[in-house]
Structures are given as structure tokens and as C-alpha cells.
């Protein structure tokens, strides 16, 4: 596990033994014991991450100051930064001063997002250049999570119906003024199904249009995509019967066999040839 948003880039890899039955790994941000020994650092500058931004630490004394700030932030202990460090970019951008005591601590610039996963086999989450945060088990009551703010995108994905393409599901960028006050809701309802029907999968030079529907999946010819969308819309409207002639017209086909014929696999890109010298 690695925190991409906060702290020293310390290697904290470990192993998990998987036995029978379900296994859950709970991840929680904590700075307890996260100080970097200043005496062991021999290569400078070091990188320190805070609120999604990288700051460069140049000396063992600066390592000690950052460690004390981490301790003060975690344990609410009293600490005042030395005057010599107050021109550092980390101090100017990420350190807060207590108005009463004048003591310093690091400021956590995070966004509180609300998530509701109301239908089984659905996922909701957030993506940013720092990583991906995703929830898939049911949250029938609203829950809140802190997420990174930088270049944040939100998404909802249905595991039972959809195109196997990152372009079809609900995915948009948040604006700087969006406070995430509206919860991110994953719910399989008529509105969502019709929105899915209106969104065609992106074309790919190596992957056919792959469609899955409540336990079945298949790659389908590109010409069948409008017909599939029409069938989904009719199903969501409670009128699942669509004339065959309409489906053929939408797909530009002359027969049902042509419309639904499974396409041959596309050619994989040629491997890169490496020349040994």
C-alpha cells in the first residue's frame, strides 16, 4: 500500500495471506510512525508529498522539521517551525498557524465526497493522476470519504450491463468550483439505462465492440451498436418489442444474420523490433 497524496515516499510493501472465504483489506490514512529518520538520509533532495503536491527537502535539518510537523499534525502536539524554514515552499503553501497559540501544523487540503451505491454489482469512484479510489459494495445509506482534489474525475460503472469500454460509463471532470456537495450515486434505474443506451462505445483499432448484459457477453459487429441501443431504450421504456425491419435499418444490414454475425478478431499491433548492438 502506498499513499500517493501525502507523506514520505517510503517503501511499505508487505504480504497478505489469502485463505478460504471473503477477505477484506481496510486502508486508512495515518501518519503514526511515518517520520523519516533524518540521520539515514544520504541523498538529497528528498521528495515529500502533501495534498497531492511534491515538495523538495534538501537537508537533514529540513527532514527533522517535516517530521515534527507530521507529529504535530497527527498528535496535536505543540510545535513552532524555526524561522529559517519559513521561506520554504512547503511552509508557505501547506503549513497552518494556530491563531491563539501561534503553533504550526500541516494543513490537510482534502475534499469530502459523498457516495451512495444503491444497486448490487455497481461501482462508483474517483480518478485523478494520483490514483483511483473505487467502491463496489452496497452503501444503502450515504457515506463520506476524503478524496484528492487535483484533476479529479468521477465515474459510475455497472458490472451487469454495458460496453466494455472506458468511454461509455458516467465519467466527467469536476470544475474548480464544484464542492462535491451532491453525492455520487450508483443506481441501476431507468434514467441511467437510457443514458447508457445513448452513449456508444469508442472505436478501437484492436478491440471489437464488446457488450455484456446480465450474465452474458459477446463481441458484436460495430454496425449492430445502434440496434442494441434501440433495444435497450425500448426495454427501459417497458416496450421491449422492436420491429426487425427497424433494427436492420439502424444497422445498415439486409438480414439478421448479417446484423448479429460475430466479427473476426482484430489484428493485434505488431511487436516492437529491438535491435541489439
Does 123 reside within a domain? Answer: yes
Please indicate, yes or no, whether residues 219 and 252 belong to a single structural domain of this protein.
Answer: yes
Number of folded domains that form the chain: 3
Please indicate, yes or no, whether residues 215 and 249 belong to a single structural domain of this protein.
Answer: yes
- Among 106, 126, 141, where does a domain finish? 106
Does 22 reside within a domain? Answer: no
Which residues, other chains included, contact 109 with Cβ-Cβ below 8 Å and sequence gap of 6+? 51, 52, 94, 149
Asked if 97 and 132 count as a contact pair (C-beta separation under 8 A), the reply is no
- Among 50, 73, 106, where does a domain finish? 106
Does 230 reside within a domain? Answer: yes
Does 20 reside within a domain? Answer: no
Is this model's pTM higher than 0.75 or not? no
Does 101 reside within a domain? Answer: yes
**Helix orientation angle between 225-236 and 244-251, rounded to the nearest 10 degrees:** 140
Mind listing the pLDDT tens digit of every residue in the chain (277 residues)? 667 778 887 665 666 666 666 666 666 666 666 777 766 667 889 999 887 789 999 999 999 999 999 888 877 778 999 999 999 999 999 998 988 888 998 886 566 677 888 888 888 888 776 667 777 777 666 777 767 666 677 788 888 887 765 444 455 556 555 556 677 888 888 888 887 777 777 676 656 777 888 877 777 888 888 999 899 889 888 888 999 999 999 999 999 999 988 777 666 555 544 444 3
Does 170 reside within a domain? Answer: yes
- Among 106, 129, 152, where does a domain finish? 106
Please indicate, yes or no, whether residues 101 and 135 belong to a single structural domain of this protein.
Answer: no
- Residues 179, 66: Cα–Cα separation, whole Å: 30
- Domain of residue 229: give its range: 189-268
Give the pairing of strands 184-186 and 111-117. Answer: parallel
Does 210 reside within a domain? Answer: yes
- Residues 126, 109: Cα–Cα separation, whole Å: 16
One DSSP character per residue, 133-158 reads EEE-S-EEEEEEEEE--TT-EEEEEE
Please indicate, yes or no, whether residues 143 and 176 belong to a single structural domain of this protein.
Answer: yes
Amino acid at each position: 500500500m502506498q499513499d500517493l497524496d501525502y507523506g514520505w515516499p517510503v517503501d511499505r510493501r508487505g504480504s497478505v495471506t489469502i485463505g478460504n472465504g471473503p477477505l477484506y483489506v481496510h486502508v486508512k490514512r495515518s501518519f503514526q510512525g511515518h517520520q523519516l529518520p533524518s540521520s539515514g538520509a544520504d541523498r538529497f533532495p528528498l521528495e515529500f508529498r502533501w495534498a497531492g503536491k511534491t515538495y523538495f527537502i534538501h537537508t537533514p535539518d529540513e527532514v527533522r522539521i517535516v517530521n515534527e510537523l507530521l507529529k504535530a499534525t497527527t498528535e496535536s502536539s505543540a510545535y513552532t517551525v524555526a524561522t529559517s524554514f519559513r521561506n520554504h515552499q512547503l511552509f508557505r503553501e501547506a503549513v497552518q498557524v494556530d491563531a491563539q497559540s501561534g503553533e504550526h501544523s500541516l494543513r490537510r487540503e482534502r475534499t469530502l465526497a459523498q457516495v451512495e451505491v444503491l444497486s448490487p454489482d455497481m461501482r462508483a469512484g474517483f480518478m485523478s493522476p494520483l490514483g483511483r479510489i473505487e467502491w463496489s459494495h452496497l452503501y444503502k445509506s450515504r457515506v463520506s470519504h476524503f478524496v484528492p482534489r487535483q484533476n479529479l474525475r468521477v465515474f459510475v460503472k455497472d458490472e451487469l450491463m454495458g460496453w466494455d469500454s472506458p468511454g461509455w460509463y458516467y465519467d466527467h471532470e469536476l470544475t474548480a468550483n464544484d464542492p462535491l456537495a451532491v453525492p455520487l450515486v450508483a443506481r441501476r434505474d431507468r434514467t441511467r439505462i437510457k443514458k447508457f443506451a445513448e452513449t456508444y462505445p469508442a472505436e478501437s483499432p484492436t478491440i471489437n465492440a464488446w457488450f455484456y448484459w446480465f450474465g452474458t457477453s459477446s463481441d458484436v459487429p460495430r454496425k449492430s451498436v445502434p440496434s442494441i441501443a434501440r433495444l435497450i431504450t425500448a426495454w427501459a421504456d417497458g416496450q421491449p418489442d422492436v420491429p426487425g425491419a427497424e433494427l436492420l435499418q439502424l444497422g445498415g444490414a439486409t438480414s439478421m444474420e448479417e446484423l448479429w454475425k460475430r466479427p473476426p478478431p482484430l489484428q493485434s499491433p505488431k511487436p516492437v523490433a529491438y535491435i541489439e548492438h
